Amino acid sequence: MALEHIRICDFTGQLAGAGATRYLAAYGAEVFRIEDPVTKGMWDILRAVPPYVDDRRGVDFGGAYNNHNVGKEGITLNLRTDRAREILAELIAKSDVVSENFATGVMAGFGFTYERMKELRPDIIYVSNCGFGHRGPYRKFKTWGPIVQAVCGLTYTSGLPNQPPAGWGFSYMDHHGGNWMAIAILAALIHRERTGEGQWVDMACTDAGAHMLGPMMLEHTANGRVFRSNDQHSTHSDSPRMAPHNIYASAGTDDWVAIACRDDGDWKALAGVIGIAPDDERFATVTARKENEGELDDVVAQWCVVRDKFSAAAALIAVGVPASPVQKPEERIDHDIGTSEWGLWPTVEHAAMGSVRVDGLPAKLSKTPWSMTRGGPVLSADTETVLGRVLGYSPEQVTALREAGVV
Amino acid sequence: MTVARDSPSPAVPPIDDPSAPGPLTGIKILELASEWTAFAGKVMADLGAEVVLVEPLGGSPLRRYEPFLEGVAGPDRSLWWWHYQTSKLGVELADDDPRLGELAAHAEVLLTDAPLRTDGLHRDDLIHVTITPFGRGNPRDGEPATDLTILAGGGPVWNCGYDDHSLPPVRGAGNQALHTVGLHAVAATLVAVLHQRRTGEGQRVDLSAHAAANVTTEAGSYEWLVAKSTVQRQTGRHAAVNPSTATTAYDNRGRPVNTGFPPRSVAEFRAVREWLDTLGLTDQHLEAFFLDLAIERGGVHLSELSVIPEAMAMFGAGRDALLLIAATLTDHEFFVGGQQRGLAVGVINAPEDIVADAHFQERGAIVPVHHDDLDRSFLYLGAPIAFSRSPWRISRRAPRLGEHQDTNW
């Protein structure tokens, strides 16, 4: 596999960190995730929370934890003890990457500053990922995905006019925190190949989140657009070049269909389907459609509201107009050929939960494909294996360490 | 893991040379201009790759994407183009121009939205990355799609909106379907580059924007995959199977703030209790005694909420305390005051607030980019990631049409 030569000493958790090393493990990287035996790994809140596959509960039954940690091995080290810190030093010396998404100062608190890691392994790549990074006035502040999204601007820009911000409805920046962190690790590996140098990559999830605002920032800095005009935001379905461009109610319960009319050609096709004269001067050009967008939305909404969302979208797609039902989870996971034919929902085997479907990846590499077969680690299940394979410890030594409260 | 909050926190080592080469220096990428490839190309170009952007004769239609500088259209005035084409070199080529093949012959990566004419450019050591709405060869390949329809069909829109389900679900702004598949394209390309460097072998790398959106919904997907449960959208908070209480509060000017995760640890409950006292608000909190109970019992854990009623009451009391405090402060005071007490609360910044914020300024997350053709500099979104030895950098503004026509690898 593409990354089978890469070893990662991994402290990441939740999704913003765990998602990064999950990604690299899918391409073959050797990832051993280090957790705390004293708290039973509960620093990662997802270890024991729903969803569950059945009635069993506990640190080995959190469905989200499994999803975010597929392909990793799990070991425990009680870093309150000197012996565990010695073992960690031995592991770092034999690793390519150290990854973590603790709050600022936690790794240093364990005694593992970047300088210390570099002494252990001169070309080590250390990637830290926390909400505000290890530098700057907010470096000691704490975040979760929704806080990152609030501070970086993504929450404000997601909502309906005259309503409070909707936010994202999930930790969007946990996903992309993980993706940016994976990119950071991969880019640092490429840099190391070229120069022989390791480095510390200091990732702040809020910076990465702000980077996702796209051209909106230039709208402000170059054109002076103020998004908080009258304390209302109005970016939902905001497209200066497309109309109609919105989400409309369809027949059914909480069913909706999205339609995007890219240009006048799309409009002619759309008008034909919904029974509007294509040369109706209210809507004939994009300028006219933007000027009369409220009226236009009413016309399109009337057509949608009596139709099944799938049928409505299909009728428009058939004439080349972008449209899509707002798909519910069951619809897009179990009944959408676009995901099933992709193989997007692989089944992994979790040592405690059994067979569980998880998120796959949206890239197909023809020579080095990703693979997900192994579930997330049961707490400390691989301590003996990893310490044996990487450091040459015998099972008896590991048993003694376990009895001494070190692992 | 439990660690003292005041642990030493040494800063990132200074970058020896701010103009040092980026981590992807030396990688030659040939990109055929497309809205699907633009973000991936920008990220890799800003990370130091040499990206040559090919436009058709007369220029890419993307140059006509609004918004425009000062609202005036023009091929070099699209802010969309400015943002997504930074650090790239631009050439203008007819579809049948043999220079396309010459450039491709020396490229390590070919980045396209899969036009048929690029199929003949493949070679064994080339990494040919294609980004399309549904992936090449997928049964849905060829369906027309935009950022809006991908987010609607792929799951994010279902998660996002309001408690009132008569209001439509919401598509977050900022071209996030393009960003989502773009980040996956960058990561997959870098995986292929590492493989190519080790083995000499290139490959095809096929991205699906629909698949990317589908695996960017957090609980939206795994609740169904694991438990066949369906999340429902809620105002300003995570879509969930079971309704949760509000996290949006309002400051003393009526601006929304995010109260974040309510207190769970003893330290967090103590911090809220102390903050209420400091502001003289304890008497206004009807259930402040639950805060004291939470401190006495050692906090609450999320897994207790559904099984221990008192735990839910304590959790709720913490949340109510934050709502009360927020209403007496400005949004920024609430954010900084809470965070200084160890509470993960947030200010809901609009894009313009980012520019003025000391955090983003100090970390280089906002940077000036000079436009020599206009003799002006503009503030752009800066480094998403801080590398200590190979800095991220916008090396040049977006190219004018045919500006680097003589580029020759």
Q: What is the predicted ipTM?
A: 0.98
For chain B, the helix, strand and coil percentages under 3-state DSSP, each to the nearest 5: 40, 15, 45
C-beta of residue B329 within 8 angstroms of C-beta of residue B252: yes
What token pair was written down for A308? 């099944």
B262 and B209 within one domain: no
Strands A199-204 and A125-130 turn out to be: parallel
Which of the four pLDDT bands, split at 50, 70 and 90, describes residue A162?
Answer: confident
Which of the four pLDDT bands, split at 50, 70 and 90, describes residue B17?
Answer: confident
**Chain A contact for B356, CB < 8 A?**
no
pLDDT recorded at residue B7: 44
From the list B75, B77, B85, the residue with the least C-alpha distance to B40 is: B85
Query: Does B372 have pLDDT greater than 50?
Result: yes
Number of helical H runs and strand E runs in chain B: 14, 14
Chain A interface mutation, best of B146, B241, B340, highest count of A Cβ atoms under 10 Å = B146
Query: Does B209 have pLDDT greater than 90?
Result: yes
CB contact under 8 A, A322 and B149: yes
pLDDT recorded at residue B355: 94
Which SS3 state, helix, strand or coil, does residue B76 take?
A: coil
pLDDT, mean of residues B109-125: 88
pLDDT recorded at residue B9: 47
CB contact under 8 A, A169 and B389: no
**What is the rounded average pLDDT for all residues in chain B?**
93
Query: Does residue B265 form part of some domain?
Result: yes
- CATH number for the domain that contains residue B204: 3.40.50.10540
Distance, in Å, from the CA atom of B45 to the CA atom of B83, rounded to the nearest integer, reads: 12
Instruction: Give me the domains of chain A, ranges plus CATH numbers.
Output: 7-210+342-403 (3.40.50.10540), 245-327 (3.30.1540.10)
From the list B160, B358, B384, the residue facing A168 with the nearest CB is: B160
CB contact under 8 A, A172 and B172: yes
Query: Does residue B223 form part of some domain?
Result: no
What token pair was written down for A241? 């070049």
Residue with tokens 């183009």: B81
Query: Does residue B148 form part of some domain?
Result: yes
Query: Does residue B196 form part of some domain?
Result: yes
Query: Does B5 have pLDDT greater than 50?
Result: no
Query: Does A230 have pLDDT greater than 70?
Result: no
B213 and B280 within one domain: no
C-beta of residue B188 within 8 angstroms of C-beta of residue B129: yes
B302 and B205 within one domain: no
A-B contacts at Cβ under 8 angstroms = 582
B183 and B83 within one domain: yes
Q: Which amino acid is it at A81?
A: T
pLDDT recorded at residue B10: 55
pLDDT, mean of residues B296-319: 87
Tell me which of B96 and B159 has the higher pLDDT. B159
Query: Does B11 have pLDDT greater than 60?
Result: no
B174 and B321 within one domain: no
- Cβ-in-10-Å burial (0-12, 13-18, 19+) of B301 comes to middle
B331 and B187 within one domain: no
Query: Does B1 have pLDDT greater than 70?
Result: no
Distance, in Å, from the CA atom of A4 to the CA atom of A19, rounded to the nearest integer, reads: 18
Restricting to B residues 85-124, those with a Cβ less than 8 Å away from any Cβ of A are none
Distances (CA, A) of A323 to A67, B114, B150, B207: 30, 21, 9, 20
Distance, in Å, from the CA atom of A93 to the CA atom of A9, rounded to the nearest integer, reads: 10
- Cβ-in-10-Å burial (0-12, 13-18, 19+) of B150 comes to buried
pLDDT recorded at residue B290: 93
CB contact under 8 A, A245 and B360: no
| Angle of helix B147-154 versus helix B176-199 axis, rounded to 10 | 80
Distance, in Å, from the CA atom of A93 to the CA atom of A28, rounded to the nearest integer, reads: 20
Query: Does B310 have pLDDT greater than 90?
Result: no
B168 and B53 within one domain: yes
B282 and B189 within one domain: no
Query: Does residue B23 form part of some domain?
Result: no
Nearest C-alpha of chain A: how many angstroms from B82? 8
CB contact under 8 A, B79 and A215: yes
Which of the four pLDDT bands, split at 50, 70 and 90, describes residue B12?
Answer: low
pLDDT recorded at residue A346: 98
B265 and B209 within one domain: no
Domain count, chain B: 2
From the list A27, A49, A216, the residue facing B174 with the nearest CB is: A216
Chain B interface mutation, best of A4, A246, A266, A365, highest count of B Cβ atoms under 10 Å = A365
B305 and B175 within one domain: no
> Residue B48 is part of which domain span?
28-217
Query: Does residue B343 form part of some domain?
Result: yes
Query: Does A68 have pLDDT greater than 60?
Result: yes
From the list B4, B158, B210, the residue facing A328 with the nearest CB is: B158
Strands B127-132 and B109-112 turn out to be: parallel
Query: Does A177 have pLDDT greater than 70?
Result: yes
The strand pairing partners of B386, in sequence order, are: A202
What token pair was written down for A372? 């997900």
Query: Does residue B320 form part of some domain?
Result: yes
From the list A158, A156, A67, A79, the residue with the least C-alpha distance to A111 is: A79
**Chain A contact for B365, CB < 8 A?**
yes
Distance, in Å, from the CA atom of B1 to the CA atom of B7, rounded to the nearest integer, reads: 13
Residue B384: cis peptide before it, omega within 30 degrees of 0: no
B200 and B292 within one domain: no
Query: Does residue B325 form part of some domain?
Result: yes
**Chain A contact for B201, CB < 8 A?**
yes
CB contact under 8 A, B222 and A64: yes
Nearest C-alpha of chain A: how many angstroms from B117? 20
CA atoms within 13 A on the CB side of A82: 0
CA atoms within 13 A on the CB side of B341: 23
B302 and B165 within one domain: no
pLDDT recorded at residue A119: 97
Which of the four pLDDT bands, split at 50, 70 and 90, describes residue B2?
Answer: very low
Q: Using one digit for the tens of pLDDT, what is the confidence trace for B39-85?
A: 999 999 999 999 999 999 999 999 999 999 999 999 999 999 999 99
